[in-house]
A and B are shown apart, each in its own frame.
Chain A
Amino acid sequence: MLNEKTLKAIRNLEKDYPDKRSLVMGALWAAQRCGSGVLTKEDLESIAERLDISPVEVQAAATFYTMYNVLEPVGRYHIQVCHNIPCNLLDAEQIVAQVEKSLGIKNGETTADGKFSLTTVECLGSCGTAPMMQINDEYYENLTADKVDQILESLE
């Protein structure tokens, strides 16, 4: 179910678009951010109901975009290491390996305590400060293996 905070965020978006369907992305963001971080089947259904479209249309949109966590939970800290070419030239692979080693998980996995997930992602628009990663909303740039460990340790 969508909580009150999510519903309020969705209501706030209504004035921005002439067609309710356009609220889909904003509503999905609101549900994900104001909720548990994962979009459940019920979330998608309630969004559909609010926007007067069918649940499958919401699902079709939600599953197209990589940043929505549809049905599958991610860790409290979602570590996304860029592996596109500019970062790769400056050894992004070493950064991925370091995260894997420090957390004892592989790319695509979540730690047993649900604290960290690791994913490799495409260019995040920070190539001048490569290699880099994003953890939740934060960018971490000019990374080295040591810096990665320091950052991971600093996360509560």
Chain B
Amino acid sequence: MEPILLKNVGRPDSHRLEHYVQSGGYRGIQNALKLKRDTIIQMMKDSGLRGRGGAGFSTGLKWSFIPKDPNLDKYLACNADESEPGTFKDRVIIEHDPHLLIEGIMIASYAIGAATAYIYIRGEYEFGARRLEQAIEEACANGYLGRRIFGSDHNLDVIVHRGAGAYICGEETALLESLEGLRAQPRFRPPFPALAGLYGKPTVINNVETLACVPSILDRGPEWFAAIGPQKSPGPKLFGVSGHVKKPGVYELSMDVTLRELIFDHCGGMRDHRAFKAVIPGGASAPMMPAADLDTPLDFESIAAKGSMLGSAGVIVMDESTCMVKTAFVINRFFSHESCGKCTPCRDGTPWISQILKRIENGQGREGDVELLESLCTGIFGRCFCALGDAAVMALRGALTHFGEEFAYHIAHKKCAVTN
């Protein structure tokens, strides 16, 4: 596939405005400014673009929920929190092609009528945050941002807002709370952010990669975009592959690629001549999939049909030397650490699960522990304020479903069946 999102990555000075313009950049926004807002939103719907932040929601539909009243302030929030374990794709765009993101933000802001856009970037990405600030300065200096952009009557300020270490800030309503200077705890919905978001005003929240897809749709047309890859999951997609593969990294592919092709063709197969054991296809929240599922294409529906989710497309590959009890523990430790404390099932349930997994891992598991874990899963799933608790359960259930015998072995023999 012709690279679209990564086409500038690896070129010298790819982060500079001059380079971006030379590569055809800032044509999409100039096309957009000649169109009616509704036309752009229709183009987004026609393109079939689905959100790359995890849920795969139609971007055009999301933008269409914003009220049209010109007297209402509206906001765009770009979700650059990228904290889902195994996910490192947005960082590549931010650091290597910040103007691609900025152009996407410009088009989205124009389409929904927002004059201010915030980029919420995780605090650890300080290098990326500076890159974005430099790029915004360059764009302002050239009259691309600020008042009357490209001579239109549209104004736009883009502001970089640094997070400070909290996974939950990636959840869109927690992100808004954080932007408002509060503890980042999710909000009750409804009202949805499209009606009452940042400062109670209509707000669109989009992921970095989603927005980075937008300029090409305005430049080359929605039909062109819709023709890339599977019909229901069109367009270029970034897959961040990590774990036991020979060539980990970020790959741009269409979503008809199968797990097998991604791991064995693109990533050079497994390292150290070990056999494949399992893969987590969409960041730590996504349930793991066994070898039997390797021929599944990486589109939203096909992965869901196998009981997992494409999520953030952080593909974590594990070989035969991996202990699944330990894997489950490390993943659950994360969710337990990141629970925001707002609702009881998640706040109290996730550390309890961690405690049980830890004792099983340490050879102190008790008979009945697996059943206890299962009952905790039932107690948490669907009963939490946001999807964090559900994610913790889904990840654990994946391990129990496919590798339950390893948990049983640990408990019965007080040691690991894999690493001994």
- Residues of A at the B interface (CB closer than 8 Å) are 16-19, 21-26, 28-29, 51, 53, 60-61, 64-68, 83-86, 88-90, 121-130, 134, 137, 139
Contact = CB atoms under 8 A, between A and B. Distances in A.
A123 B83 contact: yes
Contact of B164 (A29, A51, A85, A86): A29
Contacts of A68: 164-165
28 contacts: A16-B159, A19-B181, A25-B162, A25-B163, A29-B123, A60-B182, A65-B165, A65-B166, A66-B166, A84-B330, A85-B85, A85-B280, A85-B330, A85-B331, A86-B316, A89-B242, A89-B318, A122-B167, A122-B334, A123-B334, A125-B90, A125-B122, A127-B314, A128-B241, A128-B249, A129-B248, A134-B124, A139-B127
Interface in B82-105: 82-88, 90-91
Interface of B: 82-88, 90-91, 122-127, 157, 159, 161-167, 178-184, 199, 240-244, 248-250, 280, 284, 314, 316, 318, 322, 326-327, 330-331, 334, 337-338, 340
A123 B164 contact: no
Contacts of B124: 67, 124-125, 134
A86 B162 contact: no
Nearest to A87: B242
Given A84-B330, A125-B82, A22 B316 contact: no
Most buried by B among A65, A68, A85: A85
**Nearest 8 A-B pairs (CB), nearest first?**
A65-B164, A66-B165, A127-B242, A24-B181, A67-B165, A86-B242, A21-B181, A123-B85
A88 B330 contact: yes
Given A17-B159, A125-B87, A130-B242, 8 more contacts: A60-B182, A64-B184, A66-B166, A86-B86, A86-B243, A123-B84, A125-B82, A128-B241
Given A88-B330, A122-B338, A123-B85, A128 B183 contact: no
A58 B52 CA distance: 33
A53 B180 CA distance: 13
Contacts of B125: 125
Contacts of B182: 21, 60-61
Contacts of B163: 25, 65
A124 B91 CA distance: 10
Contact of B87 (A29, A83, A127, A134): A127
Nearest to A123: B85
Contacts of A22: 179-181
Nearest to B75: A18
B88 A67 contact: no
A128 B240 CA distance: 7
A21 B242 CA distance: 39
B183 A64 contact: yes
